[in-house]
Amino acid sequence: MNLLFICNQNKNRSKTAEEIFKGKYITKSAGLYVPRPVSAKEIGWADTVIVMEEGQRSEIGKRFPKLYLQKRILSLDIPDVYSYNDPRLVKLLKSKMKKYTPLLT
């Protein structure tokens, strides 16, 4: 299962998620508002795209309307208030991902 984690800058939330779930899934991470933002190729690679906030799902829909309709995009609803590998973020990511585990097998 290829999972693509997306947040705004790909520095904290999505980067942490990529790291902690790479043993269970094939993972990558990307940002929306960075010099090299997420690409259609990366979205196409993913079996499931996981965003940190609902607004990021909408942004993917605007940038990649055809891919958006073809992909399962899940939102973890995690605000941008954590630093990379913050223990609270790790705990929250693991907790939020548990409800999606049945969809990711």
The structure tokens listed for 71 are: 């992909």
Structural domain range at position 59:
2-97
Q: Does residue 105 surpass a pLDDT of 80?
A: no
Question: Is residue 104 in a domain?
Answer: no
What residues are paired with 28 via a beta bridge?
Answer: 4
Question: Is residue 73 in a domain?
Answer: yes
Query: Tell me: the pLDDT tens digits for 25-83?
Result: 999 999 999 999 999 999 999 999 999 999 999 999 999 999 999 999 999 999 999 99
Give the pLDDT score at 57: 97
Question: Is residue 103 in a domain?
Answer: no
Question: Is residue 102 in a domain?
Answer: no
Question: Is residue 84 in a domain?
Answer: yes
The CATH number of residue 86's host domain is 3.40.50.2300
Question: Is residue 105 in a domain?
Answer: no
87-98 vs 13-21: helix axis angle to the nearest 10?
70
Question: Is residue 68 in a domain?
Answer: yes
By the 8 A CB rule, do 49 and 43 touch?
Answer: yes
Q: What's the domain count of the chain?
A: 1
Nearest to residue 92, comparing CAs of 52, 55, 57, 58?
52
